[in-house]
Structure 1
């Protein structure tokens, strides 16, 4: 009787051990599977693309929030609110993709956009509006569009490639809208843009002013009779009294017959 009980106990222990080992192995395998990130299929280049897309939208959201509060122009304020709304949706798409691929996204702006946000926070009024539209509106969207165009072509993961292509049209629209706004355009006319000083009233005829341009007819003095000792060309010089007829001086140029100032001589007396 005692032997039977012992045998039953040993058999039960063996069965428990036999079932426990596979269950422990299965539990360890499941735990290992849960801790293994799905991003193992993404290469480094594609991971960087996902993180760059996230940073770009984060920068637009941050700058847009500042502009919503500080912009003076209603047009700029409306544009900024649109950037906050649309780039928040874009960031949601990037976040979902990153989670499915196991990519850890940045949680703060890069150094460049931190500096830009600090600069915008120090500005007010019309100056703020122009700077926001110039940087966040035109410059950043131009760079983002070029980045997405390149990423949609070079990404190897199909989901990363598809997201870059999906974001491109909206970013292009943001860029075009920003460029068309007056605050993003350079102030001043064409002369100011080229750095050319507009002419001052009366200056065109003042040929004695420094840097003044002579009209074509007076640009070069081709008349003869200028003293050869001066060696001056292209400058109209009044000849001193009597110098024009002094053809014995060194270097003197004999004037043409038409240039000689000769008084009419009386007719010689006729002898009969």
Structure 2
């Protein structure tokens, strides 16, 4: 459930990035995250439905606070906070997905966790690379 909420929150913050940033690298990364997390969310939603699990329809309150915070920022302040959010979330989610890929007894969940854990690892690397670019004056 948290993974689905994380995908929804990622899409929201990346939509803000596309609106607020004038940096082509930020826009490109944000659009890639919207596309990939949208696909990921749909796959997670299908698996949850197949398993009879309730599908969340909104982000967690702390994610809503982050969306509000990012909405209030602009320029370099926005980009720095936004990329740090992306790094933090992708670090956490990569660990969680890799844990489920190894330790989850349900093969369907473990398989999806492996697939998306690998993708999230790539997202994390891309976020770190973009963060280094954005850190330069």
Q: Which TM-score bucket, shorter chain as reference?
A: over 0.9
* Residues 27-66 of structure 1 aligned to structure 2 (within 5 Å): 51-66=1-16
Question: Which residue in the other structure is 1:151 paired with?
Answer: 100
Greater radius of gyration (CA) = 1
Q: Which residue of 1 aligns with 2:76?
A: 126
User: Gaps (5+ residues) in structure 1?
Assistant: 1-50, 189-272
Q: 1:106-255 residue pairs with structure 2 within 5 A?
A: 106-135=56-85, 137-181=86-130, 182-183=133-134, 185=135
Structure 1's consecutive aligned runs of 4 or more residues displaced over 6 angstroms after TM superposition are none
**Which structure exhibits the higher relative contact order, with contacts defined as CA atoms closer than 8 Å and separated by 6 or more residues?**
2
Picking from 31, 50, 53, the partner of 1:81 is 31
Aligned residue pairs total 135
Does structure 2 conserve the Cα–Cα contact (< 8 Å) formed by 1:57 and 1:88?
yes
Q: Work out the CA distance in 2 between the residues paired with 1:59 and 1:170.
A: 17
Cα distance, 1:157 vs. partner?
1.0
Measure how far apart 1:115 and its partner are. Answer: 0.7
User: In structure 2, how many angstroms separate the alpha carbons of the residues matched to 1:173 and 1:134?
Assistant: 16
Q: Deviation per CA, 1:213-239, whole angstroms, max 9, x where unpaired?
A: xxxxxxxxxxxxxxxxxxxxxxxxxxx
Give the equivalent residue in structure 2 for 1:70: 20
Q: TM-score scaled to structure 2, two decimals? A: 0.92
What are the ranges of 5 or more consecutive residues in structure 2 without an aligned counterpart? none
- 1:154 offset after TM fit, Å? 2.2
Compute the TM-score of the two structures, normalised by the length of structure 1: 0.48
Are the equivalent residues in 2 in contact too, given 1:72–1:126 (CA < 8 A)?
no
